[in-house]
Amino acid sequence: MLEYAKTILLKVSFDQILFEKELRKALRMLVPDELVQLKEWCYNQFSNVYRRILNRVFGQPAQA
């Protein structure tokens, strides 16, 4: 399921609303070990564009 979630997130990364929606769905369907991997992957792939969304979804404090 982790690889599926990554594929979907890459495909919807053009749209901020879809990206957040699919990221939240992924969090519900993955096991804890996969969530850690997804979080790391998301920050590596998307932190330059969607840092606020990632912080909000993964529960990180906001960064300037």
Is the pTM here over 0.85, yes or no?
A: yes
- Name residues of the chain where pLDDT drops below 50: 62-64
End-to-end CA separation in angstroms for the chain: 32
Output the pLDDT for position 64. Answer: 42
What residues contact 54, with CB distance under 8 A and at least 6 apart? 23, 39, 42, 43, 46, 47, 60
Distance CA 44, CA 63 (A): 16
SS3 sequence of 8-54? HHHHHCCCHHHHHHHHHHHHHHCCHHHHHHHHHHHHHHHHHHHHHHH
Output the pLDDT for position 14. Answer: 96
